[in-house]
Structure 1
Amino acid sequence: MSGEWDTPWWEDGEDKGPKRRAGFVGTTTINRHDFGISRDGELTNGGSVVGSKVEITVDAEAILED
């Protein structure tokens, strides 16, 4: 499974120490059925407990070590 996702980079001020930092926040939406997750809970009115689309957000920061 592969695809594209939007990953805007952010820079949030200066580090108060000597080490370099980098960070990013990225969000994508997948269809859970594409990954074989098809078990559905059903409500009494016929609706689903979980929708097919799942939003994933990654918020990461890295610090360069010597």
Structure 2
Amino acid sequence: MYVCLCSGMNCRQVKQALSEGARSHAQVFLRNGLRPSCGRCRDTIVGMIDEHAAQAGANDGAPAALDPLSVAAE
């Protein structure tokens, strides 16, 4: 599926950039040798970044960060 129609970037390219260390919308484009254009894809790419980070955090064996507000309520 295409993520960015302006540059023709697809999901596979975004996921590859994330696995190579991209951590921002701009870095995803740079890792693919592209430049963002209209910005309509930004929210989709940021969502993919968040999803990737959540999966990486779940797989690294480290405990999840605690929400200070929920800890204070206990």
Asked whether the two chains share a fold, i.e. TM above 0.5, the reply is no
Q: How does the TM-score come out when normalised to structure 1?
A: 0.26
Q: Quick one: higher RCO (CA 8 Å, sep 6+), 1 or 2?
A: 1
Higher alpha-carbon Rg: 1
Q: How does the TM-score come out when normalised to structure 2?
A: 0.24
Give the number of the structure whose residues are more often strand, by fraction: 1
